[in-house]
Structure 1
Amino acid sequence: MEGKPRPEASSTQALAGMDRLIALSIVGQNDIAQRLGLNVTDLTCLAHIWDFGDEPPTAGDLAEKANLTTGAITGVVNRLERAGYARRQADPADRRRVRIVADASAAARVAVVYQPFYDRLSELFADYSPDEVAVLADWFTRAADAMRLSLEEIRGEDSRTAS
């Protein structure tokens, strides 16, 4: 399948479009988290728990992935447990270590809220050729890497100016 003709756009126009998408995403994430009885940090951490796959994270692993302190993660895990999205589980290999495990029903509960949006995105991707989708996927991956680097720089500057 060949891609459809697209209007020309400058990088400035693309950045403006990305900024609009990010702003809407921030509002949307807040609304979704609220609908699920969570805050955005807790919802983000739940997604990180799923990212670990079959090897559930320790609180330290989750703190590192979410760029939070272990103290903050304790609060996150407490809230996720109270809301029924995750639980602490002893590590079978080391009973002193605790792993954070997503509740079996958590993914289905979250999918109910996200699925309509994901369906719309799937329809949108279907309007692009496989080569165009590959470019989009590459761009999202590389943009996320650029964002991580920028966050590290911002946080590094904050810690230096705070002292």
Structure 2
Amino acid sequence: MPATPRPTATPAQALEAMDSLIAAHLLGQQEMAQRLGLNITDLLCFACVLKAGENLLTAGDLAEHAHVTTGAMTGILNRLERAGFITRRPDPADRRRVRVAAVPAAVSRVEALYGPYYGRLNDLFASYSADEIAVLTDWFTRTTGLAQAYIDELREKEDQKDSRKDSRKDTDSKTAKSRAKNKNQA
């Protein structure tokens, strides 16, 4: 389909439109999660399971994708399993590990909920030329990379900050023990 003429926009206008999209997306995801009886983190993890398809992920894989600890992932998987979204299967290569599979009925529920929205998105994409879709795809991909890199950077700074706090606690603890020892020897 030929491209529809588009109004010109400045980078500031594009960022404002993006902020509006992100806000609408966050509200939409929260609404979808509630309708499925999940919280947003559990929905994100289930989306990772769906994206993996037949390449079943381990709990550790999911924890990495969702940026949560493996301990937190255990709780998430317990909730998803109780809610009928996933099953755990023994890893054929290592029986100590489990792999996570989506329950077909849950997949159908999610597809029924998201299907109309994705249909509307496909209709919207149909109004763009192939070149415009290529630009959009490039922008989505690169922006996702920027966002992930920034999140990693923030987490790294937080980890360094926590490490410095732990180091100070260790030093303070050693100093207190040394003082107590010296006091007892006196």
Query: What does residue 139 of structure 1 align with?
Result: 139
Query: What does residue 115 of structure 2 align with?
Result: 115
| Counterpart residue type for residue 14 of structure 1 | A
Q: How many angstroms does 1:2 deviate by?
A: 2.8
Distance 1:122 1:58 in 2: 32
Aligned pairs for 1:84-123 within 5 A: 84-123=84-123
Distance change (3 Å), C-alpha of 1:161 and 1:94 = closer
Aligned-residue Cα RMSD (Å) equals 1.1
The alignment-based identity, stated in percent, is: 52
Larger Cα Rg: Structure 1 or Structure 2? 2
| Counterpart residue type for residue 131 of structure 1 | D
| Counterpart residue type for residue 73 of structure 2 | I
TM-score, normalising length: structure 2 = 0.84
Distance 1:5 1:24 in 2: 25
CA deviations over 1:70-121 (Å, ceiling 9, x no partner): 0110011001001100011111222221111111222211011111211111
| Counterpart residue type for residue 17 of structure 1 | A
8 Å Cα contact 2:42-2:76 kept in structure 1: yes
Please state whether the residue corresponding to 1:5 is helix, strand or coil: coil
Distance 1:110 1:134 in 2: 28
Query: What does residue 126 of structure 2 align with?
Result: 126
Q: Does 1:16 align with 2:16?
A: yes
Q: How many angstroms does 1:27 deviate by?
A: 0.9
TM-score, normalising length: structure 1 = 0.95
| Counterpart residue type for residue 47 of structure 2 | A
Query: What does residue 181 of structure 2 align with?
Result: none
Q: Whose helix fraction is larger, Structure 1's or Structure 2's?
A: 2
Q: Does 1:77 align with 2:68?
A: no
Distance 1:152 1:93 in 2: 31
How many residue pairs match? The answer is 163
| Counterpart residue type for residue 142 of structure 1 | R
Structure 2 residue runs without a partner (length 5+): 166-186
Q: How many angstroms does 1:44 deviate by?
A: 0.5
Runs of 4 or more, structure 1, over 4 Å off, are none
Query: What does residue 161 of structure 1 align with?
Result: 161
Structure 1 residue runs without a partner (length 5+): none
Please state whether the residue corresponding to 2:33 is helix, strand or coil: helix
8 Å Cα contact 2:2-2:127 kept in structure 1: no
| Counterpart residue type for residue 137 of structure 2 | A
